[in-house]
Amino acid sequence: MVTKSKGLELMHLVSMVCVLSLSACTTNPSKVKLGEDTRNTEQFVKSLGLSVSSVDEALLKADKAILEDKLDLAQLYYVEAYQLEPTNILLLKRMADFYTKIKNYALAELSLTLMIKLQPENLENLEQYGLLQLKQRKYEEAKNSLSKVISKKKSWRAYNGLGIIADLQGNLHNAELYFNKADTLNPNSSELLNNLGFSYYSDNKYKEAEVCYRKALLIEPDYKRALYNLALLQANLKNYDSAYSGFCLVTNNAEANNNVGYIAMLKGDYPVAKKYLQAAIQASPEFYKKANDNLMRLEKNEQEMH
C-alpha cells in the first residue's frame, strides 16, 4: 500500500510541476486545460507530441533534454516512463539522481522511498537515502539510515556521513572515529581528509588537523575547503601572514584581510587586528561594512581595557 500511495504522489507532483512549467511556454496556453489527475497530464503530453512507447525511449529523450538544459521536459519524460513501468528500478534510480542534482530533494526522497520498498535489502539505496536526508538536515533520520548500512557492510560514504552528523552534534570523539574508518576504506579522498582535519581542529588538535589538510592538498591542490580551513588554522595559531596568504587563494583581498583581522581580534592581538581590518576597509571602502563593524568592535574593546 505504501508503494502505491507514494508512487501516485511522486507521479502527481512531477507531472503537475512539468505541466505548469511547459504550459507557460506553449503558443496557446489558454487552450490547455490543466487538471488534477494524470489523465489530463497525459492528454497534455500527447498534445505536445511527447508521448513515448517504452521506458528506454523515454530515458533517451530525458537524457537529451537534460543535455539541452530543458529540465521540465526531462521531468515529463520521466513521468511518461513511470506510467509505463512504475516498478522499474533503473528508472527510479535515474529519477532520484536527477532530482538530487537539481536539489529537488522532496521528489528525490520519494523516488528513493519507492526503491527501498521494492528492494528492502539493497544497502546502496538505503545509503543514498541516508545521505539525501543529511543534505536535508534531517540528522536523526540520516543517522538511523546510515547506521543500518554500516551494521551490514563497510562503506566510506556512510562513515563519512555519520562523521559529519557527529561533528554537527558536537560529538567530536565519534566524528574522528567515523572519519578515520572512512579514511581507511578510501585513503586518497581530499574530502575525507578535510573533514577529519576539521574535526581535529574543532577538538583543538591543531597538529593533527594541519597534517590532514596538507594531505588533502597534496591530493587536490585547488581544494577550496581545505585551503580555507588551513588558513583558518594558521590564523588561530597566530601565523597571520600565512593565514592571509591562504585566505587570498580562496577569496578576495578584502575578505582575506577581514578574516585575519577578526581572528587576531578574538586572540587579543589588537595591533595586528587593526592593521588587517584597516587593510580590508582600504581594499573595499564602499562595500566592506563587515570590516568596519569589526574595527569598531576592536576600538570599543581597546577603550574598555583603558
Of 7-21, 198-212, 265-279, least confident by mean pLDDT is: 7-21
CA dihedral 247, 249, 251, 257 (to 10 degrees): 40
Q: Is the pLDDT of residue 35 over 60?
A: no
279 touches 257 (CB < 8 A): yes
Closest CA to 141 of 119, 122, 117, 113: 113
pLDDT of 48 reads 58
Q: So where are the chain's domains?
A: 1-120
Cell of 31: 487552450
Closest CA to 118 of 12, 6, 14: 6
pLDDT of 183 reads 94
According to CATH, the topology of domain 1-120 is 1.25.40
Of 10-19, 128-137, 220-229, 281-290, least confident by mean pLDDT is: 10-19
Of 19-33, 53-67, 120-134, 272-286, least confident by mean pLDDT is: 19-33
- Count other C-beta atoms under 10 Å from residue 296's C-beta: 11
> What tens digit of pLDDT does each residue of 209-219 get?
999 999 999 99
Q: What mean pLDDT is predicted for residues 151-159?
A: 97
* Number of alpha helices (DSSP H) and beta strands (DSSP E) in the chain: 17, 0
Q: Is the pLDDT of residue 71 over 60?
A: yes
pLDDT band at 150, cuts 50/70/90?
very high
Instruction: Please state, in angstroms and as integers, the Cα–Cα distance from residue 52 to each residue in 9, 63, 69, 236, 247, following that order.
Output: 22, 14, 20, 60, 52
Q: Is the pLDDT of residue 267 over 70?
A: yes
Angle at 234 between CA 232 and CA 238, to 5 degrees: 115
- Count other C-beta atoms under 10 Å from residue 164's C-beta: 21
58 touches 84 (CB < 8 A): yes
Q: What average pLDDT does the structure give for the chain?
A: 84
Q: What mean pLDDT is predicted for residues 68-91?
A: 90
Task: Read off the pTM.
Answer: 0.77
pLDDT band at 72, cuts 50/70/90?
confident
pLDDT > 70: percent of the chain: 77
Alpha helices (H) in 54-104, listed in sequence order: 55-67, 71-84, 89-101
Return the higher-pLDDT residue of 15 and 109: 109
Return the higher-pLDDT residue of 2 and 94: 94
CB-based contacts of 101, cutoff 8 Å, min separation 6: none
Q: Is the pLDDT of residue 2 over 50?
A: no
Q: Is the pLDDT of residue 29 over 90?
A: no
123 touches 115 (CB < 8 A): no
Q: What mean pLDDT is predicted for residues 226-250?
A: 97
The HSE-up count of residue 144 (CA atoms within 13 Å, CB side) is 5
d(CA 247, CA 259): 8
Cell of 56: 528506454
